[in-house]
Chain A
Amino acid sequence: MNLVDNFYAYLWPGVNMSELQTYGNNCNSYLVAKALPEDKHVLVDPGMVTNEARQNCLDRLISEMRKDGIEIEDVGLILNTHAHPDHYGASESIRRMSGAQVAIGRGDDDFLKLAGGEMANALKQMGFEFPELNPDFYLTEGELRLGQDLIAQIMLTPGHSQGHISIYWPKAKVFMGGDLIFYGSTGRVDIPGGNAQLLKESIERVAQLEIEYLLTGHQYGSPGIIVGADEIKRNFELIRKHIFPYL
Protein backbone atom coordinates (compact mmCIF):
# COMPACT_ATOMS: atom_id res chain seq x y z
CA MET A 1 0.00 0.00 0.00
CA ASN A 2 1.11 3.54 -0.63
CA LEU A 3 2.13 5.29 2.55
CA VAL A 4 3.30 8.74 1.53
CA ASP A 5 4.88 10.13 -1.65
CA ASN A 6 6.62 7.18 -3.28
CA PHE A 7 6.94 5.14 -0.07
CA TYR A 8 5.07 1.86 0.06
CA ALA A 9 4.50 -0.51 2.97
CA TYR A 10 3.90 -4.27 2.80
CA LEU A 11 3.02 -5.38 6.29
CA TRP A 12 3.17 -9.00 7.29
CA PRO A 13 -0.02 -10.07 9.13
CA GLY A 14 0.38 -10.23 12.87
CA VAL A 15 -1.56 -7.34 14.32
CA ASN A 16 -3.36 -9.81 16.62
CA MET A 17 -2.70 -13.28 18.04
CA SER A 18 -4.96 -15.03 15.55
CA GLU A 19 -2.98 -13.62 12.62
CA LEU A 20 0.31 -14.42 14.29
CA GLN A 21 -0.72 -18.02 14.77
CA THR A 22 -2.07 -18.39 11.24
CA TYR A 23 0.61 -16.63 9.26
CA GLY A 24 3.72 -17.28 11.34
CA ASN A 25 6.73 -15.01 11.32
CA ASN A 26 8.04 -12.71 8.61
CA CYS A 27 9.00 -9.05 8.55
CA ASN A 28 7.34 -5.96 7.16
CA SER A 29 8.82 -4.85 3.84
CA TYR A 30 9.05 -1.31 2.57
CA LEU A 31 9.64 0.09 -0.87
CA VAL A 32 10.72 3.39 -2.34
CA ALA A 33 9.34 3.47 -5.84
CA LYS A 34 11.32 4.74 -8.82
CA ALA A 35 14.19 5.87 -6.62
CA LEU A 36 16.82 4.78 -9.13
CA PRO A 37 17.50 5.37 -12.82
CA GLU A 38 15.19 3.60 -15.28
CA ASP A 39 12.47 3.84 -12.60
CA LYS A 40 13.99 1.04 -10.55
CA HIS A 41 12.79 0.63 -6.98
CA VAL A 42 14.50 0.25 -3.63
CA LEU A 43 13.20 -2.56 -1.42
CA VAL A 44 13.94 -2.64 2.30
CA ASP A 45 13.88 -5.96 4.18
CA PRO A 46 12.37 -8.36 1.65
CA GLY A 47 11.53 -10.98 4.31
CA MET A 48 11.65 -14.72 3.76
CA VAL A 49 10.78 -16.92 0.80
CA THR A 50 8.73 -19.26 3.00
CA ASN A 51 8.38 -19.28 6.76
CA GLU A 52 7.91 -21.82 9.53
CA ALA A 53 4.13 -21.78 8.98
CA ARG A 54 4.77 -22.75 5.33
CA GLN A 55 3.47 -19.40 4.15
CA ASN A 56 4.82 -18.30 0.76
CA CYS A 57 6.02 -14.96 2.03
CA LEU A 58 7.80 -13.88 -1.14
CA ASP A 59 4.83 -14.77 -3.35
CA ARG A 60 2.64 -12.68 -1.11
CA LEU A 61 5.02 -9.72 -1.29
CA ILE A 62 5.16 -9.94 -5.08
CA SER A 63 1.37 -10.10 -5.26
CA GLU A 64 0.90 -7.13 -2.95
CA MET A 65 3.44 -5.09 -4.89
CA ARG A 66 1.67 -5.92 -8.12
CA LYS A 67 -1.57 -4.49 -6.73
CA ASP A 68 0.29 -1.18 -6.53
CA GLY A 69 1.51 -1.56 -10.10
CA ILE A 70 5.02 -2.51 -8.95
CA GLU A 71 6.79 -5.50 -10.44
CA ILE A 72 9.49 -7.43 -8.58
CA GLU A 73 11.64 -7.46 -11.72
CA ASP A 74 11.94 -3.68 -11.40
CA VAL A 75 13.61 -3.75 -7.99
CA GLY A 76 17.07 -2.29 -8.47
CA LEU A 77 18.36 -2.33 -4.89
CA ILE A 78 17.65 -4.38 -1.78
CA LEU A 79 18.63 -2.90 1.56
CA ASN A 80 18.68 -5.21 4.58
CA THR A 81 18.51 -3.70 8.05
CA HIS A 82 20.12 -6.73 9.64
CA ALA A 83 21.16 -10.32 9.06
CA HIS A 84 18.23 -12.18 10.55
CA PRO A 85 16.70 -14.51 7.98
CA ASP A 86 13.17 -13.24 8.51
CA HIS A 87 14.39 -9.93 7.09
CA TYR A 88 17.01 -10.71 4.45
CA GLY A 89 16.04 -14.27 3.51
CA ALA A 90 14.53 -13.58 0.08
CA SER A 91 17.30 -11.21 -1.08
CA GLU A 92 19.12 -13.62 -3.36
CA SER A 93 15.86 -14.98 -4.80
CA ILE A 94 14.77 -11.45 -5.71
CA ARG A 95 18.22 -10.69 -7.11
CA ARG A 96 17.82 -13.66 -9.48
CA MET A 97 14.47 -12.29 -10.63
CA SER A 98 15.53 -8.67 -11.01
CA GLY A 99 19.32 -8.32 -11.08
CA ALA A 100 19.07 -6.02 -8.04
CA GLN A 101 22.11 -4.97 -6.04
CA VAL A 102 22.06 -6.21 -2.43
CA ALA A 103 23.36 -4.43 0.65
CA ILE A 104 23.59 -5.02 4.41
CA GLY A 105 25.42 -3.56 7.38
CA ARG A 106 29.08 -4.65 7.47
CA GLY A 107 28.86 -5.79 11.07
CA ASP A 108 26.01 -8.12 10.27
CA ASP A 109 27.71 -9.58 7.21
CA ASP A 110 30.64 -10.44 9.48
CA PHE A 111 28.12 -12.02 11.81
CA LEU A 112 26.69 -14.10 8.93
CA LYS A 113 30.17 -15.35 8.10
CA LEU A 114 30.69 -16.26 11.74
CA ALA A 115 27.33 -17.89 11.43
CA GLY A 116 28.94 -20.41 9.12
CA GLY A 117 30.46 -21.96 12.20
CA GLU A 118 29.74 -22.13 15.88
CA MET A 119 27.30 -19.23 15.84
CA ALA A 120 25.18 -20.96 13.20
CA ASN A 121 25.04 -24.10 15.34
CA ALA A 122 23.88 -22.08 18.34
CA LEU A 123 21.22 -20.29 16.30
CA LYS A 124 20.11 -23.47 14.57
CA GLN A 125 19.34 -24.85 18.04
CA MET A 126 16.94 -21.92 18.35
CA GLY A 127 15.32 -22.83 15.03
CA PHE A 128 17.04 -20.36 12.68
CA GLU A 129 18.30 -21.26 9.22
CA PHE A 130 20.48 -18.82 7.28
CA PRO A 131 19.95 -18.51 3.51
CA GLU A 132 22.92 -17.39 1.46
CA LEU A 133 23.61 -13.66 1.12
CA ASN A 134 26.24 -12.15 -1.18
CA PRO A 135 26.14 -8.39 -0.65
CA ASP A 136 27.36 -6.11 -3.43
CA PHE A 137 28.15 -3.44 -0.89
CA TYR A 138 28.01 -2.79 2.81
CA LEU A 139 26.12 -0.04 4.54
CA THR A 140 27.82 2.08 7.12
CA GLU A 141 26.99 5.31 8.94
CA GLY A 142 26.62 8.06 6.37
CA GLU A 143 24.71 9.25 3.37
CA LEU A 144 23.17 6.99 0.75
CA ARG A 145 22.51 8.85 -2.50
CA LEU A 146 19.96 7.34 -4.84
CA GLY A 147 19.18 8.46 -8.35
CA GLN A 148 19.15 12.17 -9.08
CA ASP A 149 18.27 13.67 -5.74
CA LEU A 150 17.06 11.17 -3.16
CA ILE A 151 19.13 10.99 -0.01
CA ALA A 152 18.84 8.59 2.90
CA GLN A 153 20.76 8.65 6.14
CA ILE A 154 22.11 5.27 7.09
CA MET A 155 22.45 4.97 10.85
CA LEU A 156 24.30 2.25 12.69
CA THR A 157 21.79 1.16 15.34
CA PRO A 158 23.19 -1.94 17.03
CA GLY A 159 21.46 -3.69 19.89
CA HIS A 160 19.11 -6.17 18.31
CA SER A 161 22.08 -7.33 16.24
CA GLN A 162 25.66 -6.13 16.19
CA GLY A 163 25.51 -4.61 12.69
CA HIS A 164 21.87 -3.49 12.61
CA ILE A 165 21.27 -0.40 10.47
CA SER A 166 18.29 1.89 10.21
CA ILE A 167 17.33 4.16 7.33
CA TYR A 168 16.11 7.72 7.76
CA TRP A 169 14.63 9.59 4.84
CA PRO A 170 14.86 13.19 6.06
CA LYS A 171 12.86 14.86 3.30
CA ALA A 172 9.82 12.63 3.86
CA LYS A 173 10.56 12.22 7.60
CA VAL A 174 10.25 8.48 7.22
CA PHE A 175 12.25 6.19 9.47
CA MET A 176 12.73 2.48 8.74
CA GLY A 177 13.94 0.89 11.94
CA GLY A 178 14.03 -2.85 11.22
CA ASP A 179 13.85 -4.61 14.58
CA LEU A 180 15.15 -1.70 16.64
CA ILE A 181 11.81 -0.50 17.87
CA PHE A 182 8.15 -1.51 17.64
CA TYR A 183 4.87 -0.04 18.73
CA GLY A 184 5.11 -0.27 22.52
CA SER A 185 8.16 -2.49 22.47
CA THR A 186 11.69 -3.05 21.19
CA GLY A 187 13.61 -5.69 19.34
CA ARG A 188 14.82 -8.59 21.46
CA VAL A 189 18.38 -8.59 22.72
CA ASP A 190 18.68 -12.23 23.75
CA ILE A 191 19.77 -13.55 20.36
CA PRO A 192 23.56 -13.91 19.77
CA GLY A 193 24.77 -10.45 18.71
CA GLY A 194 22.18 -8.67 20.85
CA ASN A 195 23.13 -6.04 23.40
CA ALA A 196 20.65 -4.29 25.69
CA GLN A 197 22.82 -1.24 26.42
CA LEU A 198 23.56 -0.65 22.75
CA LEU A 199 19.87 -1.04 21.92
CA LYS A 200 18.94 1.65 24.41
CA GLU A 201 21.62 3.98 23.08
CA SER A 202 20.47 3.39 19.51
CA ILE A 203 16.87 4.13 20.42
CA GLU A 204 17.83 7.34 22.19
CA ARG A 205 19.74 8.45 19.09
CA VAL A 206 16.73 7.81 16.89
CA ALA A 207 14.42 9.60 19.32
CA GLN A 208 16.21 12.86 18.42
CA LEU A 209 15.14 12.68 14.78
CA GLU A 210 12.16 14.43 13.23
CA ILE A 211 9.95 11.51 12.23
CA GLU A 212 6.41 11.49 10.89
CA TYR A 213 6.32 7.83 9.83
CA LEU A 214 8.07 5.25 11.98
CA LEU A 215 8.13 1.97 10.05
CA THR A 216 8.81 -1.08 12.18
CA GLY A 217 9.98 -4.57 11.31
CA HIS A 218 7.02 -6.51 12.67
CA GLN A 219 3.42 -6.26 13.74
CA TYR A 220 3.81 -8.22 16.92
CA GLY A 221 0.27 -7.78 18.13
CA SER A 222 0.28 -4.07 17.32
CA PRO A 223 0.40 -1.81 14.27
CA GLY A 224 3.58 -1.94 12.21
CA ILE A 225 3.54 1.76 11.36
CA ILE A 226 3.36 4.63 13.80
CA VAL A 227 2.14 7.84 12.21
CA GLY A 228 2.53 11.37 13.51
CA ALA A 229 5.32 13.06 15.41
CA ASP A 230 3.33 13.18 18.67
CA GLU A 231 2.38 9.51 18.53
CA ILE A 232 5.97 8.56 17.77
CA LYS A 233 7.23 10.66 20.65
CA ARG A 234 4.68 9.01 22.97
CA ASN A 235 5.93 5.62 21.83
CA PHE A 236 9.51 6.54 22.74
CA GLU A 237 8.38 7.71 26.19
CA LEU A 238 6.39 4.55 26.77
CA ILE A 239 9.41 2.43 25.86
CA ARG A 240 11.73 4.40 28.13
CA LYS A 241 9.32 4.01 31.02
CA HIS A 242 8.09 0.47 30.63
CA ILE A 243 10.67 -1.41 28.57
CA PHE A 244 14.09 0.11 29.28
CA PRO A 245 14.08 -0.94 32.95
CA TYR A 246 13.85 -4.57 31.85
CA LEU A 247 16.56 -4.43 29.20
Chain B
Amino acid sequence: MPGNDDKIKSALEIALEKAQRLGALSEDEKQRLKNEELAAAGEALAERYLNGLPLRDIEIELAGRAEQDRHITSHHLLNHLLDRIDVVPVERNDKILNAIQQLPGDSGIVQSIRDLIQEYESAIEKARHENLSALETAKRNELESKGISGSAVQPALETSPEWKQIRQNLDSHYQERLEEMRQKHKNSTESAHSVTHTEDKENTS
Protein backbone atom coordinates (compact mmCIF):
# COMPACT_ATOMS: atom_id res chain seq x y z
CA MET B 1 0.00 0.00 0.00
CA PRO B 2 1.39 3.49 -0.80
CA GLY B 3 3.29 5.11 2.11
CA ASN B 4 3.34 1.84 4.11
CA ASP B 5 6.79 0.61 5.15
CA ASP B 6 5.55 -2.78 6.34
CA LYS B 7 5.97 -5.60 3.90
CA ILE B 8 5.44 -9.31 3.90
CA LYS B 9 8.78 -10.97 4.41
CA SER B 10 9.82 -13.84 2.20
CA ALA B 11 10.91 -17.15 3.71
CA LEU B 12 14.47 -16.36 2.60
CA GLU B 13 14.42 -13.03 4.40
CA ILE B 14 13.16 -14.69 7.59
CA ALA B 15 15.87 -17.36 7.33
CA LEU B 16 18.58 -14.73 6.79
CA GLU B 17 17.38 -12.76 9.81
CA LYS B 18 17.56 -15.90 11.94
CA ALA B 19 21.05 -16.63 10.65
CA GLN B 20 22.10 -13.09 11.50
CA ARG B 21 20.78 -13.51 15.03
CA LEU B 22 22.70 -16.79 15.29
CA GLY B 23 25.83 -15.02 14.23
CA ALA B 24 25.31 -12.77 17.21
CA LEU B 25 25.20 -15.71 19.64
CA SER B 26 28.03 -16.52 22.00
CA GLU B 27 30.01 -19.74 21.62
CA ASP B 28 28.28 -21.21 24.65
CA GLU B 29 24.86 -20.42 23.24
CA LYS B 30 25.82 -21.92 19.89
CA GLN B 31 27.00 -25.07 21.65
CA ARG B 32 23.81 -25.22 23.69
CA LEU B 33 21.74 -25.03 20.54
CA LYS B 34 23.87 -27.67 18.90
CA ASN B 35 23.53 -29.92 21.94
CA GLU B 36 19.76 -29.56 21.76
CA GLU B 37 19.83 -30.59 18.13
CA LEU B 38 22.03 -33.57 18.89
CA ALA B 39 19.78 -34.56 21.83
CA ALA B 40 16.76 -34.46 19.55
CA ALA B 41 18.66 -36.53 16.99
CA GLY B 42 19.53 -39.11 19.67
CA GLU B 43 15.93 -39.37 20.81
CA ALA B 44 14.70 -39.66 17.23
CA LEU B 45 17.17 -42.47 16.60
CA ALA B 46 15.89 -44.25 19.72
CA GLU B 47 12.31 -44.01 18.47
CA ARG B 48 13.29 -45.25 15.04
CA TYR B 49 15.01 -48.22 16.63
CA LEU B 50 11.94 -49.01 18.69
CA ASN B 51 9.85 -48.80 15.53
CA GLY B 52 11.99 -51.33 13.71
CA LEU B 53 15.18 -49.69 12.46
CA PRO B 54 17.94 -52.33 12.75
CA LEU B 55 20.65 -51.71 15.32
CA ARG B 56 23.27 -51.93 12.59
CA ASP B 57 21.68 -48.89 10.90
CA ILE B 58 21.83 -46.98 14.19
CA GLU B 59 25.53 -47.81 14.48
CA ILE B 60 26.19 -46.64 10.92
CA GLU B 61 24.37 -43.38 11.53
CA LEU B 62 26.34 -42.72 14.72
CA ALA B 63 29.63 -43.61 13.02
CA GLY B 64 28.95 -40.96 10.38
CA ARG B 65 29.09 -38.18 12.96
CA ALA B 66 32.11 -36.35 14.34
CA GLU B 67 33.39 -37.86 17.57
CA GLN B 68 32.01 -35.31 20.00
CA ASP B 69 28.68 -35.16 18.22
CA ARG B 70 28.57 -38.95 18.33
CA HIS B 71 29.09 -38.96 22.08
CA ILE B 72 26.30 -36.50 22.71
CA THR B 73 23.86 -38.16 20.31
CA SER B 74 24.67 -41.59 21.69
CA HIS B 75 24.25 -40.38 25.26
CA HIS B 76 20.74 -39.09 24.55
CA LEU B 77 19.87 -42.15 22.49
CA LEU B 78 20.77 -44.43 25.38
CA ASN B 79 18.97 -42.29 27.96
CA HIS B 80 15.85 -42.26 25.82
CA LEU B 81 15.96 -46.03 25.47
CA LEU B 82 16.48 -46.35 29.21
CA ASP B 83 13.37 -44.27 29.84
CA ARG B 84 11.36 -46.74 27.77
CA ILE B 85 12.09 -49.71 29.97
CA ASP B 86 9.30 -50.90 32.25
CA VAL B 87 9.38 -53.58 34.94
CA VAL B 88 6.55 -55.45 33.26
CA PRO B 89 8.63 -57.79 31.17
CA VAL B 90 7.65 -57.11 27.62
CA GLU B 91 9.53 -58.18 24.54
CA ARG B 92 10.56 -54.57 24.05
CA ASN B 93 12.69 -54.68 27.21
CA ASP B 94 15.00 -57.27 25.66
CA LYS B 95 15.25 -55.24 22.48
CA ILE B 96 16.11 -52.10 24.44
CA LEU B 97 18.60 -53.78 26.76
CA ASN B 98 20.37 -55.43 23.83
CA ALA B 99 20.77 -52.05 22.15
CA ILE B 100 22.13 -50.40 25.31
CA GLN B 101 24.59 -53.25 25.69
CA GLN B 102 25.88 -53.06 22.13
CA LEU B 103 26.00 -49.32 21.53
CA PRO B 104 28.96 -47.30 22.79
CA GLY B 105 28.32 -45.96 26.28
CA ASP B 106 28.06 -47.25 29.80
CA SER B 107 26.24 -50.54 29.64
CA GLY B 108 26.83 -51.46 33.29
CA ILE B 109 23.21 -50.80 34.05
CA VAL B 110 21.95 -53.51 31.71
CA GLN B 111 22.71 -56.42 34.00
CA SER B 112 21.28 -54.57 36.98
CA ILE B 113 18.01 -54.05 35.13
CA ARG B 114 17.90 -57.65 33.97
CA ASP B 115 18.42 -58.76 37.58
CA LEU B 116 15.67 -56.45 38.79
CA ILE B 117 13.21 -57.76 36.21
CA GLN B 118 14.02 -61.32 37.15
CA GLU B 119 13.50 -60.48 40.83
CA TYR B 120 10.16 -58.89 39.92
CA GLU B 121 9.03 -61.97 37.98
CA SER B 122 9.99 -64.20 40.91
CA ALA B 123 8.07 -61.98 43.31
CA ILE B 124 4.95 -62.27 41.14
CA GLU B 125 5.25 -66.03 40.94
CA LYS B 126 5.68 -66.24 44.70
CA ALA B 127 2.63 -64.04 45.28
CA ARG B 128 0.62 -66.08 42.81
CA HIS B 129 1.61 -69.31 44.53
CA GLU B 130 0.81 -67.96 47.97
CA ASN B 131 -2.56 -66.51 47.00
CA LEU B 132 -3.80 -68.73 44.17
CA SER B 133 -5.76 -71.21 46.17
CA ALA B 134 -7.59 -68.65 48.27
CA LEU B 135 -8.38 -66.40 45.32
CA GLU B 136 -9.61 -69.29 43.24
CA THR B 137 -11.91 -70.47 46.01
CA ALA B 138 -13.28 -66.97 46.49
CA LYS B 139 -13.99 -66.63 42.77
CA ARG B 140 -15.66 -70.04 42.56
CA ASN B 141 -17.89 -69.08 45.48
CA GLU B 142 -18.79 -65.85 43.76
CA LEU B 143 -19.63 -67.64 40.51
CA GLU B 144 -21.69 -70.27 42.33
CA SER B 145 -23.69 -67.56 44.02
CA LYS B 146 -24.54 -66.36 40.51
CA GLY B 147 -25.57 -69.85 39.41
CA ILE B 148 -22.38 -70.67 37.49
CA SER B 149 -20.38 -73.81 38.27
CA GLY B 150 -19.06 -77.05 36.83
CA SER B 151 -15.86 -78.72 35.71
CA ALA B 152 -15.63 -76.44 32.67
CA VAL B 153 -15.17 -73.37 34.88
CA GLN B 154 -11.63 -72.16 35.61
CA PRO B 155 -11.61 -68.92 37.61
CA ALA B 156 -9.38 -66.23 36.14
CA LEU B 157 -7.08 -65.11 38.91
CA GLU B 158 -5.91 -62.04 37.05
CA THR B 159 -9.28 -60.30 37.11
CA SER B 160 -9.97 -60.66 40.84
CA PRO B 161 -9.79 -57.31 42.71
CA GLU B 162 -7.56 -58.89 45.38
CA TRP B 163 -4.99 -60.05 42.84
CA LYS B 164 -5.09 -56.73 41.04
CA GLN B 165 -4.22 -55.01 44.34
CA ILE B 166 -1.36 -57.41 45.04
CA ARG B 167 -0.08 -56.88 41.54
CA GLN B 168 -0.37 -53.13 41.77
CA ASN B 169 1.65 -53.08 44.99
CA LEU B 170 4.38 -55.19 43.43
CA ASP B 171 4.42 -53.14 40.25
CA SER B 172 4.75 -49.86 42.21
CA HIS B 173 7.55 -51.18 44.37
CA TYR B 174 9.64 -52.45 41.47
CA GLN B 175 8.85 -49.48 39.27
CA GLU B 176 10.26 -47.23 42.02
CA ARG B 177 13.42 -49.28 42.21
CA LEU B 178 13.81 -49.14 38.44
CA GLU B 179 13.40 -45.38 38.49
CA GLU B 180 16.04 -45.02 41.22
CA MET B 181 18.39 -47.14 39.13
CA ARG B 182 17.70 -45.03 36.08
CA GLN B 183 18.31 -41.74 37.88
CA LYS B 184 21.50 -42.96 39.47
CA HIS B 185 22.80 -44.09 36.10
CA LYS B 186 21.83 -40.84 34.40
CA ASN B 187 23.44 -38.76 37.14
CA SER B 188 26.69 -40.66 36.85
CA THR B 189 26.77 -40.53 33.05
CA GLU B 190 25.89 -36.82 33.04
CA SER B 191 28.87 -36.11 35.28
CA ALA B 192 31.19 -38.18 33.08
CA HIS B 193 29.80 -36.52 29.98
CA SER B 194 30.34 -33.01 31.42
CA VAL B 195 33.95 -33.85 32.28
CA THR B 196 34.58 -35.14 28.75
CA HIS B 197 32.98 -32.08 27.19
CA THR B 198 35.03 -29.70 29.35
CA GLU B 199 38.26 -31.53 28.50
CA ASP B 200 37.46 -31.40 24.77
CA LYS B 201 36.77 -27.66 24.98
CA GLU B 202 40.07 -27.12 26.77
CA ASN B 203 41.91 -29.14 24.14
CA THR B 204 40.40 -27.16 21.26
CA SER B 205 40.84 -23.67 22.75
Binding site for B on A (CB under 8 A): 35-37, 40, 76-77, 101, 103, 106, 109, 117-118, 134-148, 151-154
Contacts and interface: CB of A to CB of B under 8 A. Distances in A.
Given A117-B90, A117-B91, A134-B159, A140 B154 contact: yes
A136 B90 contact: no
B154 A147 contact: no
A246 to B, nearest CB: 33
B57 to A, nearest CB: 20
B156 A138 contact: yes
Nearest to A151: B150
A143 B152 contact: yes
Contacts of A142: 150-153
Contacts of A103: 153
Contacts of A145: 148-150
Contact of A101 (B91, B146, B151, B154): B146
B154 A106 contact: yes
B154 A137 contact: yes
Contacts of B139: 136-137
Contacts of A40: 146-147
Given A117-B90, A137-B139, A37 B146 contact: yes
A146 B147 contact: yes
B45 to A, nearest CB: 21
B147 A76 contact: yes
A143 B150 contact: yes
Band of interface residues on B: 10 to 19
A137 B156 contact: yes
Nearest to A146: B147
Interface string B114-146: 000000000000000000000000010001001
Given A137-B156, A138-B154, A138-B156, 18 more contacts: A36-B146, A76-B147, A101-B143, A117-B90, A117-B91, A118-B91, A135-B159, A138-B153, A139-B152, A140-B154, A142-B152, A143-B150, A143-B151, A144-B153, A145-B149, A151-B150, A152-B152, A154-B152
Nearest to B91: A117
Interface string B145-189: 011111111111011000000000000000000000000000000
Contacts of B158: 134
Nearest to B90: A117
Contacts of B143: 101, 136-137
Nearest to A117: B91
Contact of B155 (A136, A148, A152): A136
18 contacts: A36-B146, A36-B147, A37-B146, A40-B147, A76-B146, A77-B148, A101-B143, A134-B156, A136-B143, A136-B155, A137-B153, A139-B152, A139-B153, A140-B151, A144-B148, A145-B148, A145-B149, A151-B150
